[in-house]
Amino acid sequence: MSKRGENPQTPPSERPLSLRQLEVFHTVMQMRSITVASKILKVSQPSLSRTIRRIEDILGIALFSRDHNRLVPTSEALEIFEEIDPLVRQLAAASTQIGRIASGETAVFRVGATASAARALMPQALRALSEEVTGIELFFDVLPVNQIEDYLLSGRGEAVVTLVVSDHPLIVNEPAGRIDLVAAIPRHHRLAARDVIHASDLENENFISFEQGGAHQTVVDGFLRRSQVKVNIRAVARFSDTALALANEEMGIVLVDYLTTLGPVGGNLVVRPIHRAPQFEVSVLWNRQRPHSANLKKLSEILAIKLTDLPPLV
């Protein structure tokens, strides 16, 4: 009587072996020991022995004889091993590669950031990511705000880390954390001696402003307007690092996000916290219609941790 699932008309040699059966046979052939092979395959010895007997039943031939505690392969077993050895090795290599794909080690991970996040936060986060995902190939772009949507919608990069919120329907804004507005002050300015800057301290001070419509100017203007403080705008900058460079030349005080000051600020500046400082939201932006990789998920997690653990401004 044939066993369930087998065609009684099918000759033993034409019944297919499963990949698992091929793996078991290959391992036993290499080790020439059921005991050692069972440890490698993480199965019990009785189970492994039953699998070998099942293979012999399917093929209708003996595969091994015993010589003391060693298995001696038959000539047919040696011939079968030569046939399947390249296949099993290829499958093992494919399995390893699949694991690398799943862990994000194979593809180029291209991300961008606007100036503030690019100064220190993103280099630190990308370093942590490269330590977590061995072999990852990173490509890091620094973008002006007006290039974010094209960067994501065209697929040039997978994500952008920024202080800007996008209202485009295809772009997801994933919050990563919040940071304070701080004051960068020329070292010899009278306010440099203050531990904390109040809005009223800025009345009629020379000031470095930002172009209208940007994240910085929106937050700074709102802060000054609520405090009913007027400042003397000496220069307008597009990027936060440019604003710091102007302030370093004593053209005025600049209010920037705390992330900007984590990078080099210039030897002629001090950074001070602001009383009741407004905050910026740091977001990871990505295109909802494009693949969202495991690396991006890891990066978002790293950013959230780093933003929570930022050193206090002294």
For residue 138, give the nearest of 147, 153, 128, 151 by alpha carbon.
Answer: 128
| 255 within 8 A of 206, measured Cβ to Cβ | no
Residues 158 and 137 in one domain: yes
Position 206 in a domain: yes
Show the domain range for 141: 108-176+280-308
Total number of domains constituting the chain = 3
Residues 49 and 64 in one domain: yes
Residues 56 and 73 in one domain: yes
Terminus-to-terminus CA distance in the chain, angstroms? 85
- The angle at the Cα of 307, spanning 280 to 269, to the nearest 5 degrees, equals 70
Q: What is the mean pLDDT of the chain?
A: 87
Give tens-digit pLDDT for 208-265. 999 887 889 999 999 999 999 999 999 999 888 899 999 999 999 999 999 999 988 8
Position 6 in a domain: no
Position 8 in a domain: no
Residue 4 has pLDDT above 50, yes or no: no
Residues 46 and 58: their CA atoms lie apart, in Å, by 18
- Of 83, 102, 121, the last residue of a domain is 102
- Of 102, 119, 141, the last residue of a domain is 102
Position 154 in a domain: yes
The CATH number assigned to the domain holding 224 equals: 3.40.190.10
Position 83 in a domain: yes
Position 4 in a domain: no
pLDDT band at 188 (very low <50, low <70, confident <90, very high): very high
Q: How many CB atoms lie within 10 A of CB 183?
A: 26
Q: Please indicate, yes or no, whether the overall pTM of this predicted structure exceeds 0.85.
A: no
Residues 145 and 172 in one domain: yes
Residues 66 and 154 in one domain: no
- Of 48, 76, 102, the last residue of a domain is 102
Residues 163 and 189 in one domain: no
Tell me, rounded to whole angstroms, the distance of Cα 310 from its chain centroid. Answer: 19
Position 314 in a domain: no
Q: Which pLDDT value is given to residue 5?
A: 45
| 176 within 8 A of 215, measured Cβ to Cβ | no
Residue 93 has pLDDT above 70, yes or no: no
For residue 310, give the nearest of 84, 124, 72 by alpha carbon.
Answer: 124
| 114 within 8 A of 163, measured Cβ to Cβ | yes
Residue 6 has pLDDT above 60, yes or no: no
For residue 156, give the nearest of 108, 102, 106 by alpha carbon.
Answer: 108
Position 2 in a domain: no
